[in-house]
Amino acid sequence: MPSLELRNDVYRRPLALALARLGFGPGWVSVDVGAGAGDVAVELARLSGPAGRVYAVDSSPLARDETARAAARAGEAQVVALTQRAEELALPEQVDLAFCRFLLLHVEEPLAVLRQMAAVVRPGGFVVAEEPITTAGRVDGRPLSMPAARHQDVGALLPALFCQAGLELVDAWAEAPAGAGPGPVASYLAELTEVDPGDDPIVLPPLVTVIARAPSAATGS
């Protein structure tokens, strides 16, 4: 399992871009679904400030504990870490943003999870997912694969899945960190595959980001 810190390092830019596009900021209430060790949740809490709130949801109780520790270390008391399945989200309030990253490739039914995320967002609120197209990654020209993931290329289907979930697309794009030789990209790949890529040229799996809105109450759809 690659360290989350490293994942944050190499895939930080699409996250920052997505949050900037939303105008995410003070007072926002959000949920990070499949929060893992809580890196994204802590970043959301930092940006939404003391008036905001972040629910960090993961099916693993270990993730809840790790997130709680990460939030305490960062002094972000407004992170609420919960053990829940993404398929059965139950939050105490509607949120402005439901976010997930590297989650849908692991769940049984990505569309069912997107529908759950749409259901916890207030009318007109945002749903954002960042998911990979694993086999579009390359090491020395050869495709990558992640046989343990249920849907390793779910990123390629993401815009269509959002539409099927009844969400209105705002923006969608793909971005892939690339490199050759020592550096964060090679280190990430080495942790992921347990094989040192040496000086081989690397293109990590493109991360597809989709930003969408839940229908506003006025449209009634």
User: Given the rule CB under 6 A, which residues bind ligand SAM?
Assistant: 4, 7, 34-36, 39-40, 58-60, 63, 85-87, 101-103, 106-107
* Shortest Å distance, C-beta 125 to ligand SAM: 19
CB of 197 to ligand SAM, least distance (A): 20
Query: How far are the Cα atoms of 1, 30, 67, 164 from residue 191, in angstroms, in the given order?
Result: 7, 30, 21, 35
The CB-of-36 to ligand SAM minimum distance in angstroms stands at: 3
Nearer to ligand SAM, 12 or 21 (CB): 12
Closer CB to ligand SAM, 60 or 216, in the complex: 60
The smaller minimum CB distance to ligand SAM, of residues 6 and 180, is found at: 6
Residue 27 vs 161, nearer CB to ligand SAM: 161
Q: Which residue has the tokens 């280190």?
A: 187
Cα(92)–Cα(120) distance, integer angstroms: 10
Classify residue 35 by its DSSP letter: -
State whether residue 181 is helix, strand or coil.
coil
Structure tokens that stand for 14 in this block? 């699409």
Type and span of the H or E element at 203 = strand 201-203
Contact predicate 125/95, CB 8 Å? yes
Smallest gap from Cβ 12 to ligand SAM, in A, equals 11
